[in-house]
Amino acid sequence: QKEVEQNSGPLSVPEGAIASLNCTYSDRGSQSFFWYRQYSGKSPELIMFIYSNGDKEDGRFTAQLNKASQYVSLLIRDSQPSDSATYLCAARLSAGDKIIFGKGTRLHILP
């Protein structure tokens, strides 16, 4: 059973601090990894994707991938109240394969 595991939270972080979201996956053959943000009642929106080991930065967001440990993380710097949402981690084997989603981590940024 291919799984993506996330802590459901809620994770509470003060405004301006760094929010760290973590995810593990079970299928060692997974090649692509994604982070989506979902506001209540809305569909998920892509934040970042990462394919290679290491860090990938985009603005306030940094995705980290460690294939040896089967671990993916998302760092959000200078957290804002608008970052409060559910963050979904996802993994897939290759293009065209279904994406396996975690159940999401609820993030709450405290003003």
Binding of residue 10 to another protein (CB under 8 A):
no
Q: Alpha-carbon distance 79 to 69, whole Å?
A: 27
- Which residues inside 78-107 make contact with another protein, applying CB under 8 A? 88, 90, 95-96, 98-99, 101-104
Contact segment (CB under 8 A) with another protein among 20-28, 35-43, 66-74, 77-85 equals 35-43
**Cα three-residue angle 45-52-1, rounded to 5 degrees:** 70
- Which residues inside 50-79 make contact with another protein, applying CB under 8 A? none
State how far the alpha carbon of 77 is from the alpha carbons of 17, 64, 92, 102, in Å: 6, 14, 26, 22
State how far the alpha carbon of 110 is from the alpha carbons of 9, 19, 66, 80, 84, in Å: 14, 11, 29, 8, 9
Binding of residue 45 to another protein (CB under 8 A):
yes
Binding of residue 22 to another protein (CB under 8 A):
no
Binding-site ranges for another protein (CB under 8 A): 32, 34, 36, 41-46, 49, 88, 90, 95-96, 98-99, 101-104
